[in-house]
Structure formats: C-alpha cells, structure tokens
Structure 1
Amino acid sequence: MPQTDTSAADAPAAPAASGLPAMRHRLSTRIISLSLAVLLAVLGMISGTLWLSWKLEGAGAAINDAGSLRMRANRVAIELTLAQARQSNALAMQVQALDTTLAQLKKGNPARPLFLPDEPAIHAQMARVTHDWQQRLRPLALPSDGHDAAPDQYIAMLPGFVAQADRLVGMIEQDSARKTDLLRLSQAALAAMACVGTVAVIYLLYLWIILPVLRLQDGLRRMAAREFSLRLPVESRDEFGTLSEGFNRMAGELQGLYQDLEARVAQKTAELERHNRDLESLYDMAAFLNQASDAEAMARGFLERVVRQFDAEGGSVRVLDSRHGRMHLLAATGLPAALADAEACAAADACHCGDATREAVVTIVDLRTAQRGGVIARDGTACERSGFQALAAFRIESQRGATGVFALHFRAPRTLPPSDRQLLETLGQHLGTALEHLRLSATARQLAVVEERNLVAQGLHDSIAQGLNYLNLQVQLLDAAVTRDDLAETREIVPMLRHGVEESYQDVRELLNNFRSRLGTGELRPAVEETVERFRRQCRTEAALTIDENAGSGAGRPLSPEQQLQVLFILQEALSNVRKHAMAAHVAVALSHGREFRLVVQDDGEGFDPDELATRADAHIGLNIMRERAARLGAQLQVQAAAGRGVRIELILAATAQADTRPDTKTTQTTGIQS
C-alpha cells in the first residue's frame, strides 16, 4: 500500500466550495457509472453466448433431421419394393414424412429450435438435396402421370441422393464446430473479462473508498492520541473530499477546545463535588430532622450542623410570634449571652434577622457599612458590638408561611456564593417543615386525648353519674327517715341503697372492662361472645346470640382492629341500656358479615317514645355515644322504638367503609367474623 502523507504542510489547498460535491464528482456517480459499464459488458457477453448456444441447438436439430433423410429414403426404397407384393399406404406415408422433413429443414422452426446455419454453401447444398428428391427420386416412387413405380431405377439413383444428404450433414457439422469454438472462445473471454474487471473494480474501489477510509482511520487514531494539529490532504472533490474537509474543521475545533478543556473539567469536577456535598448535607439534615422529637433539640442539632458546614463562628434559630411582632430564641451556638438575650434581636422589625422573615434572605458582607432604612447606626448593631462583622439570615418557612429565621454570624467579612445561599434556603424550608410536623403531631395527640376523654366522660355520665344521683336521693330519704325515727321506711330504703351500690359497682366494672378492651386481628367473634355471656351474668334477661356463619365466609372485606373495637363498644352500650332501662325478658343479638356488616340488638322491654326522647335527648347519653361511634366508623345506626314494644338497634357498615384487605407492614388483617 502506498504511504499516505497526512501532514498539514504537504496537503493541497482545500477547494473553496463547501457542502456536497458536484454531481459529476460524487463518488456515488462514479460507482454507479462503473457498475453500469460492467453490467452492460457482461450482459453483452452473456447475450452472445446465449445466441451461439441457440444457434448450436438449432444446428444440432438440423443435423438430426438431415441425417434422417438417408434413413427415410431407404425406407421409401423398402416400401417401394414391398408395394409390388401387397397393397399398402406405408409408401405414401414414408414419402410424405420425407417431404415434411425437407420442408422443415428449408423453412426452419424457431420453437424447437430447428434451422440451417446462415452459410450460403449449406443452403445451396440443401437446394441440391431437395432438387434430387423432388425431380428424380420422388417421381420414381410416386409417379403422378399414371405410370407404375420404378423400384429398380429408384434404387439405382438412391446412392447419389444419400451422398448429397451426407454432404449436407457434414457441412452443417463443420459450421457447428466453428460456432462451438467461437462459444468456447467467448466463454474464455468472459472469464478473462471477469478477472480483469474484478481486479479493476478492486483497484478502483481501493483508490476511491479504501484508501480514503484508511486515511480517515489513521487520522482518527492520531486524533485519539491527541495529535490535534493533524490535517488530512483533500485530493478529490467527492464525498471523501468533503469528509476530509470536515475532519480538518473538526480537528481545528478540537484543538481550540482542548486548550481550555482541563480548566473546564476541573470546574465541572468542583461543581459536582459541591453538588454531592449539598446532597449529603440535605440527606443528613433530613434524616436528623425526621428523628428529632423535641423542637429545641431539633433546632440545636440543625444549628450545629449548619455552623460546622459553613465555618461560621456563631448562629441562632428564632421562632416568629407574628401576633406580637417578636422573635423568641429557640437555640443558639457561639453567641455571647448578651447578644442572644438582646432585646433588639427579639423585635421582628428592629434587626437584620427580622428582615429575613419578610425578604427570605438577608446577607451582609460587612456589618460596619450595613444600613437599615438608609441609615448606618452610629454605635453599630448588636452583632457588630459583639465582634461579628458579617451576617447571613434565612427565613424558616412552612405551608403556613414564615415561622422563624436562622442566622449565621461571621467574625470576618464573608460572601456566600449563590449555591450556598440556595442550599441554606432549602435547609430553612426543611427545618420549617419539621417544626410544623412537630406542632401538628402534638396537636393530633391533644385532639386524640380530648376525644377519648370526651367518650370516657360520656360513659361516666351515662352510668356512674346516674347511679350516684340515685344513691344521693336514697341517702337523703334515709336521713329524713332516721330523723323521724321511721324504722319501717329505713328498712325499706337500705335494700334500695345496697342494690344501687351493687349496680354502680357493676357499672364501674363494666366501664373498666370496656376501657381495657383491645382487639387483635380476627378477635371480634370471641369478644362478642364474651360480652353477651357477661350480660347474662349481670342480669336475669335471657340473651340469644346469632352469628351468620355463611355471611362470614369471606364475602365482605374484613374489619380493621379499630373498627372491630368500635363495633364492640356499640354492642356493650346497647346491652348496658337493656340491662338498666329496658326491663326486658329477652334480648336477641344478631351478627352478620356479608357484603355489608350488620349488628342487630333487639329486646322486648318497655321501649320508649321517640318523640318524647327528642325533647330530652341529654338524658339519653348512651344513644348519643352509639351514634358518635357509628359516625366514626362511617356506618349507619338505626333505632326503632315504641312505648311497650321494645327497642331494635341496627348498625350497618357498607362495603366501601370496611377495611382494606391488603396486608400491612404492621398488621395482616383477616375476616372480622370467623366461621
């Protein structure tokens, strides 16, 4: 392979024209032209060989038919001899066949193919053979003037005709031999042309494609070795010339870019490291804020991490009291006690930190030249008097808005880049969200305690308070009877007091059992059975429990432990009302869990008038408690009552309000009623 000089000095000047090369200079045009020329030459050679083969095939058929003339002439002689002894049409058929063969040889048949060669001598010999047959032999075999056939004369003249036919066959064979030689010569020429053409095509393709590709490959290899001064020679005006020009332009651009590449890489590396540090700081801060459970400890840990990361000499976290316009110190580090407790720092509108609650970010490079309201304080700010010369304050905000501010104090002038300011703003938002989460969690706990106390108070009011009120009335009656020395009334009141005390004691035990009730997964049925059994022990009312086994076979969603507990409380309250007020002989409890969960408690006691109940609803706290628990469940509580006809209480929990059946990380729920 010839050596390629790729130096820039020896490269010829690139053409002035840019873009794609002209049509006549394109590599595709040359390849297509070469391919078409080779195709035409090959097709010409193949067509010639096909034509010679076709001619040889026709000449072969002519040789066969010309050779058959001798055989057919002899058959005519045989039939002519036999025709004197018997009558037969075979002679005419043989003569007709010989006439047909001569006609086909003369006319030719391209379909077979069958034709005589185009040599004049062959056609002249064919004319002599035809003349001998038509003028000399055929009249002797089949005379047309009514004379008899002359077999002896026919046989005498037959050798001459056969000789002429042999000569015709020989001439056709000689012509076929010449054409066969010509066919072999054309095939040899075609093979030689294929070899020469292949070599020529390979050479041209090497010059047009392979050599430029090798140049480009060598250029890319040297370019990969950072030899950016390399330039490829532009020796053509085709696509490879355009590629070489583009390669040279690329090399020039890379040479210019590589000069400051190291500086850019160092800059990007520093930015990436800074982003990684910021992400680590955010992750560490988020993990700490999620673990902290106390606001002061959270603020102190937050401040320590921020001060350490940004090399500050001090810092503070203050919460905003927007009602009174003041900021209360939550945590501080590195600050003198006088600065931490300074009255000026407590007012939201009296210091730079307070400005951050309105402007989000306040950064002061030098406190000695800082202004507030366009005026520089003569005696300096509190931070400056404490030895700090720079300040950066950032707002602590949550969904409620600004909730406070945290500040970093520096003893030397300090400038924070935009990336650090953005990180500190984000940290302030994280701190605000964490503090808001603590506040909401505390509020939620308070609400839960208040709600539970409300339920406890309702239960005490409906049971123990009424019992104690009854005992108070009986004690007053007993005191009056003792004062009157009415022994009979005293004896009548004492059993009533004993009964009231026992009932209050039972109420206390029942409330304690209710408050201690805890249900795990799938424990509703045994808890219901235990509640009904305890009711049977507490009073003489006959209680019947029915649980629909088929409905509990998994048709509905299972209840969560909290839902099961509320259902149990409603059942306990309903049975407690039956025991205290109904004076019933029978009570029926039915439980079913199909697509809907149903709890029915029905007694045959005294009942009540719903209209009268509506006018003094405060006296029936038990029904209100059941309604509140049903509302918490998202269920319907239906109360059907009539004076003297008992009470029917039905709790219906729709399928959409029931617990989800998906397994939880803490509790895997199963069917609330187990069959």
Structure 2
Amino acid sequence: MFAKPGKLSRKIVGMLMVFLIIATTAIGLTLVISWQLEGVAAAINDGGSQRMRTYRIGHLMARGLESQAPGETLMRAIEEELKRFDKVLRDLQLGDPARPLAAPRNPDVQKRLWEVEQTWGEFIRPLVRDYLVGNTQQRAMALDSFDNELEPFVGRIDDLVLAMENSYASDTNLLRTVQAVLVVMAVLGTFILIRFFVSLIIVPVGKLHAGMRRMSANDLTVRVPVRSDDELGNLAHGFNQMAEHLQNVYGTLEERVEAETRRLAERNRELSILYSVTAFLSEPAPLDDLCSGFLEQIKSALGADAGAVRLYEPITQKLHLMTSDGLSEEFIAREAELNCGECLCGEVVQSGLPAAFDTAHPPAGMKLRTCIREGFGTATAFSIVYDRQQLGVFNIYFRRPQAISDQEMRLLDTLGHHLGVAIENQRLKSREKELAISEERNLLAQELHDSIAQGLAFLNIQVQLLQDSLKKNRLEEAMQTAGQLREGVQESYDDVRELLVHFRTRMDQADLDAAINAALEKFEGQTGIETEFDRIGSAPPLQSTDEIQIMHIVQESLSNIRKHASATRVRITVSRVRGNLEIVVEDNGQGFDPETEPKLLSDRHVGLKIMRERAHRIGGEWNIASKPGEGTRVVFKLPRETRETS
C-alpha cells in the first residue's frame, strides 16, 4: 500500500506536471511547424517543377510539329507529362502525408493555386489534348495558342511558388520564435524550480541539519521554525518535540538516576532478604528452630518490633501459636489459639490474601484489640502456603505506624510460600523416617518369622515330644529329642546373631566393594567356605541408603548359602559397565528347582522375597537361577537411569 501524498509532494508533483505540460506543448508545436515546413518545402519543389514541365510540354509539341509526323514515342512523352502535371496539381491541392507534401493553407497560396488549376484545366490542358488528337493544321493552331498562353501560365506558377516561399519563410520565423521562447522558458523554468526547491526543501533541510548539529553539541534548547504544514513542516515539528522531550529528560536525568538507584537498592535489599531467608530454610533444622530462625530473619531485615508464626490445624480449624518474638506473656496467652476467621490472622487464613493495617484505623469489622493493647501501631499477616494449601500465617508487628510498600508485601508473601515449602519438607522428612522405620519393622518381622519364629515353633513341638517321652519313661527317645532341642536352640542362636549383624550394618567402610569384601572374609572365617571377589569397571559411589540395601541383599544371599547350599566355594562379582551396576553371587552348592520347591518362595521362607523387595525399593532388579546339583546364581542389577534419578 502506498502512503497518502502530503502537501509538499503535491506541490512538487504539481510544479513538475505544469512544466511537463508546457514543455510538451512547445515541443509538439515545434514538431508541427517543422512538419509543415517539410511539406511546404516539398510543395515548393513540386511547384517549381511544374514550370519546367510546362516548357517541356511546349518543347515536345514544337518537335512533333517540325517532324510533320510525330511518332508514338513523342506522343507518349507528351501524354506522360500531362499525367505528371495533373498528379502534381492534385498533390498540391490535397497533400501527400507519405512524403510529406502539403501546400500552405493561407488564402494567398490557395488563391494562386486555384488560378493555376483553373488556367491549366480551362486553357492549357485542352490545347495539349487538341494537339494530341488533331491533324497537322490543328496541331499548329494548338501550338500557337499554347505559346500565347505559356508565359502567362508560367507567370502564375511563379506567383504560386513565390507565395509558398513567403509562407515557408513565415513558418520558419515562427519556428525560430517558438524555439527561442522554449529556450527562455527552459531557463526561466530551471530558475523557478531552483527557487522552488531551495525555498521548500533545501532551506528547511539545512535548518534541520543545523539544528541537529547544535543538538549533537548538547544544545537542547535548539528549535527550528515551522513555516508550513507539509512533510518538512511536520518533520520540523517532530524535531522540536524531540528536542523538548530530550530537554525534559535531561533536566530530570539526575532525579531519574537517583530514583532508579533507589529502586535498584531496594531490589537488591529484597533479593538479599530473599536469598538469606531461603538459604536458611534450605538447611535441615527442627520445626521450632525453622520457624524461630525465619521470624528472626524477617524481623532483622524489616526492622520490626515483634513477630509470630502460627500453624493451622485443618481438623479443628484453629491457629496455634508456634513461635513468637517480642510479644508479652499476656499476648501469647490470649492468642495461643485462634479460631479460623477470628481477628486478623483468621481472616488471612480464610481469604488467603496478605494484610497490613494501621491499628488506629482498622477496617470495618476487623477486631485488633490484642494488638492495640500490646501497643502496636501496624499489624501485618501473611499466609504460609504450600501447593495452594494453607499451612498457617506469620505476623510482623511495628510499634509505630509503618507503611508497607507493595514490593515489601509481595516479598513477604513470597517468603510465606518458601516457609510453607520448608515446613512441608520437614513433615515429609518425618513421614519418610516413619515409613522407613515401618518398612524396617516389617522386614524385621518377616526375618524373625522366617528364622526364629519357625525355630521356636520347632522347639515347641520338640518340647512336647520330650514331655511325652518322659511321661512314658522312654529315656532313649527323650535323649534323642533333647539332642534335637539342642540343635534347634543352637540354630536359633545363630539366626539371632545373624539378624543382629544385619540390623547393625552400617557403611563404615570406604565403599561398597570394601564392605562386600569384608563380609566375604567374615563369612569365610565363620563357615570355612572358600570365597572369591571380583571387581569389573568403576563408577561414582551410590547413596549410603542404597548401599545398605545392597549389603543386606548380599548378606541374605550368604546366609542362604550357609543354611541351605552345602557349598564349598562362593564367588561375588561386582560389575560397573557404562554406569550400570551388576552384582552376582554364585555358589557351587546343591542348588534347587524353584518350580518343584515353591516353598522357598512362600511366606514361610521369605528370605528370597525380602531380597526382591529390597532390590525394588532402590529401583533395582533381582533374579535367582538354580538347578539341582548345579549351584545357585543370584543377580542384582541397578540401571544407570535409576541411579541418576535416585
């Protein structure tokens, strides 16, 4: 799309169009005159040839009369001259654009042309025709009459040619006059255009350029005159507006810099408060210390006189005062517990919006009696929120009325969200510990059930058999049962010792490999079974909790080998390839068939089940492969992706 032309554009285009029309008209006029001159020159040439042609006709007629019998060639020549004379007259009268040829259209030329045509048609041409068709006597008479009319006729042709030459001279003078006028107009037009462009463009642009130089030299008082309402006038007006704006900006630059410096200082202060508080909240601490430290940080940063942190109990819908600083015992006693919707804090819990009020002019319906009695001038309350869930509020109090800016309100509201995250993290950690304890208790119960509980049940049966043998005075059976009891007690004792070893396991060694190697050495010393330990590759250490679970799996595998495998050699391979961890425990014992011996995977023998649960707990995979007489192979895998996410 084209922009709408302005006044300056219209002036320039209009001026150029005027000069274009004038120049085109003058050039067209000169072309017309030159074309007419060319036609008149051809007409003068043809008119002059008519005189020669008239004399030629007379000469041919005289020759034919002298020969007494003119030949066909002579007669044909006379006939051709007649036709040529007629054609030239017709061309002089009508014109011939192809040559071009055109006789002047002024009255004098037209009159003399008419006289030549009349004389030719009435006298000369009939005499020639009589000569052509007559006998010798008639030819002589025609020739005499032709000779008598010849000079007057040629005189008329001379007059016609002279009239056309006069017209040609007049047109030539006119052409020269038009050309001179055109030159004068070109000079005047150039001068007018120069003055026009100087006045409308060059001078205003020069003033704008001078103004720009002065502005570049820090002269912001410069203004350029606005003398028109065209594009350059608008440009000058815009320049003046820009200069005025720059002058105003420069005049208030120091104030703006000072204000921006204050704003940056305030922003840095807010960032410093936010950083220090979040850094404190990221450190592990009990809930009481967390809230007290948070309150101390806020008070110190804002210069507050007192503060409090209250936690919300959704079941009772009450706010409990968790910690406070700078509050009297009476205040703490009165507001140790608040109902939701009561006072300032209860309103904030219900609305979720921060609040800051002047206690001398509280909002309608808002009761701040305790704050007023305590002597505070300003009371504030901000939500403690986690995932859109209200966890409580914290208060900041000032003895004197204190204006809380919008930035400070947003900062305190943000800090309330950070405190909510920290409180929820503490709760999650507590729940995680409780869950870990519960899981360990379940594992303990499973292992006790699988080992000691079954052993005690066996001992209970043996005691009953012993009592029965003693009642029946079967001493041999009683002694045999007593031996079985002794073996059962020893086995239960060994199970208890092994469980104690499992429960006391800590990663005190340098790494997992050292812990596995130490467990193998202890296993070999207790059982006499030959052990072998291989390490393949390397990788960063695991988390201590993951290593403990892996050690439990290894110890449970060694315990099963001791109890059931009847092996003479045990080999453990720890492979770390491309970040993946794989631990293989192999023995050359008697093995078993999991399909034909499902009891090994039943609730009564939950050792294998416990290993599988431990592996799944840390994101690993556990498998067992065994065949009767071919030993057993236990494989634990921990993929790299699981290690990175954990």
- Which category describes the TM-score, using the shorter chain as reference length? 0.5 to 0.7
Counterpart AA for 2:306: G
Which position in structure 2 is the counterpart of 1:318?
A: 310
The residue number in structure 1 matching 2:607 is 622
Q: Is the 8 A contact 1:545 1:590 kept in 2?
A: yes
Match of 1:651 among 612, 635, 645: 635
SS at match of 1:320: strand
Counterparts of 1:289 and 1:505, CA distance in 2: 48
2:404 matched to which residue of 1?
Answer: 416
Q: Conserved in 1, the CA contact under 8 Å of 2:215 and 2:222? A: no
The answer (yes or no) to whether the contact 1:603–1:648 under 8 Å persists in 2 is: yes
Q: Check the 8 A contact 2:321/2:336 in 1, yes or no.
A: no
User: Could you tell me how far 1:620 is from its partner in structure 2?
Assistant: 0.7
How many Å separate the matches in 2 of 1:362 and 1:635? 47
Deviation at 1:405, TM superposition (A): 0.6
| Cα pair 2:509 2:515 within 8 Å, conserved | no
Aligned residue number for residue 219 of structure 1: 214
Partner of 1:229: 221
Give me the whole-angstrom Cα distance separating, in 2, the residues matched to 1:364 and 1:399: 24
Preserved CA contact (<8 Å) 2:7 2:231: no
Number of the residue aligned with 1:138: none
1:276: how far off?
A: 1.8
Structure 1 residue 638 displacement after superposition? 3.7
Shift of 1:349: 2.1
CA distance in 2, matches of 1:409, 1:546: 66
Q: Is the 8 A contact 1:361 1:392 kept in 2?
A: no
Shift in Å, 1:329: 0.4
Letter in 1 for 2:276: D
| Conserved 8 A contact 2:505-2:548 | no
- 1:396 maps to which residue? 384
CA distance in 2, matches of 1:440, 1:17: 76
**Residues 1:359 and 2:351 aligned together:** yes
Cα deviation, 1:380-435, whole Å, max 9, x if unaligned, reads 73333433354221111012511001122344544422222112111211211121
Query: Which residue of 293, 303, 308 maps to 2:285?
Result: 293
> Structure 2 residue aligned with 1:274, among 266, 278, 285?
266
Q: TM (normalized to structure 2)?
A: 0.57
Q: How far has the Cα of 1:320 moved from its partner?
A: 0.4
Question: CA–CA distance in 2 between the matches of 1:522 and 1:364?
Answer: 56
2:381 partner letter: A
Larger radius of gyration: 2
- Aligned-pair distance for 1:354? 0.8
Partner of 1:111: none
Q: Is the 8 A contact 2:557 2:634 kept in 1?
A: no
Q: How does 1:429-448 map to 2 (within 5 A)?
A: 429-448=417-436
2:557 equivalent among 547, 551, 574: 574
* Deviation readout 1:610-665 (Å, 9 max, x if unpaired): 477369822112121122123235444444568x76774442527556746x9x9x
RMSD over aligned CA atoms reads 4.8
Q: 1:494–1:340: structure 2 CA closer, same or farther, 3 Å change rule?
A: same
| Residue 519 (structure 1) shift | 7.5
> What SS does the corresponding residue of 1:293 show, helix, strand or coil?
coil
1:448-487 maps to which residues of 2 (within 5 A)? 448-475=436-463, 477=465, 487=475
**1:283 counterpart (263, 275, 285):** 275
User: What's the offset of the Cα at 1:294?
Assistant: 2.1
| Structure 2 residue matching 1:327: 3-state secondary structure | strand
Contact 2:308–2:395 under 8 Å retained in 1: yes
Q: Deviations over 1:447-485 (max 9, x none)?
A: 233333433443343334434444454455556666776
Deviations 1:4-60 (A, max 9, x none): xxxxxxxxxxxx9889996999xxxxxxxxxxxxxxxxxxxxxxxxxxxxxxxxxxx
Could you tell me how far apart the structure 2 residues matched to 1:440 and 1:228 are?
65
3-state DSSP of counterpart to 1:569: helix
Q: One-letter code of the match for 1:397?
A: V
SS at match of 1:407: strand
Relative distance call for 1:257 and 1:22 in structure 2 (3 A) is farther
Question: Which residue of the partner structure matches residue 36 of structure 1?
Answer: none
* AA in 2 matched with 1:579: R
Map of 2:415 onto structure 1 = 427
Measure how far apart 1:321 and its partner are. Answer: 0.4
Residue in structure 2 matching 1:518, options 499, 507, 520 = 507
State the Cα distance separating 1:577 from its structure 2 match: 2.5
After superposition, the C-alpha distances for 1:168-199 in whole angstroms (9 at most, x for unaligned) are xxxxxxxxxxxxxxxxxxxxxxxxxxxxxxxx
Work out whether residues 344 and 366 of structure 2, in 8 Å CA contact, stay in contact via their aligned partners in 1.
no
Q: Which amino acid aligns with 1:434?
A: A
The 2-side partners of 1:299 and 1:310 are apart by 17
Alignment partner of 1:402: what SS? strand
CA-CA distance at 1:586 after TM superposition: 5.7
Contact 1:559/1:659 (8 A) holds in 2:
no
Residues 517 and 231 of structure 1: is their aligned pair in 2 closer, same or farther, counting only changes over 3 Å? Answer: closer
* 2:324 alignment partner, SS class: strand
Determine helix, strand or coil for the equivalent of 1:416.
coil
CA separation of 1:229/1:443 partners in 2, compared to 1, >3 Å: closer, same or farther?
same
**TM-score for both structures, normalised by structure 1:** 0.55
Q: Which residue of 2 is the match for residue 13 of structure 1?
A: none
Q: CA deviation at 1:287?
A: 1.9
Q: How many angstroms apart in 2 are the aligned matches of 1:602 and 1:250?
A: 91
CA distance in 1, matches of 2:276, 2:585: 55
Determine the C-alpha separation between the residues in 1 that align with 2:356 and 2:276: 27
User: Does the residue aligned with 1:346 lie in a helix, a strand or coil?
Assistant: strand
Q: Does the CA-based 8 Å contact 1:300-1:332 persist in structure 2?
A: yes
State the one-letter code of the partner of 2:635: L
Unmatched 5+ stretches in structure 1? 1-15, 26-206, 665-675
Distance 1:389 1:598, change over 3 A: closer
The match for 1:157 is none
Alignment partner of 1:506: what SS?
helix
CA contact (8 A) 2:345 2:393 kept: yes
Distance across 2 between alignment mates of 1:409 and 1:564: 50
Residues 364, 614 of structure 1: CA spacing in aligned structure 2 closer, same or farther, 3 A cutoff?
A: same
Unaligned runs of at least 5 residues, structure 2: 1-5, 16-201
Code of the residue aligned with 1:448 in structure 2: it is: A
SS in 1 for 2:285: coil
Change (3 A) 1:402 1:22: farther
Task: Say if 1:635 and 1:652, in contact at 8 Å, map to a contact too.
Answer: yes
Q: Which moved more, 1:401-410 or 1:309-318?
A: 309-318
Equivalent position SS for 1:341: helix
Letter in 2 for 1:252: E
Q: Confirm or deny that 1:307 pairs with 2:315.
A: no
- In the other structure, the counterpart of 1:117 is none
- Given that residues 353 and 362 in structure 1 are in contact (C-alpha distance below 8 angstroms), is that contact kept between their aligned partners in structure 2? no
Whichever structure has more helix as a proportion of its residues is 2
Instruction: Work out the number of aligned pairs and report it.
Output: 452
CA contact (8 A) 1:390 1:411 kept: yes
Matching residue's letter, 2:505: R
For residues 384 and 471 of structure 2, the distance between their equivalents in structure 1, rounded to whole angstroms, comes to 73
Using the TM superposition, give the Cα deviation of residue 342 of structure 1 relative to its aligned residue in structure 2, in angstroms. 1.9
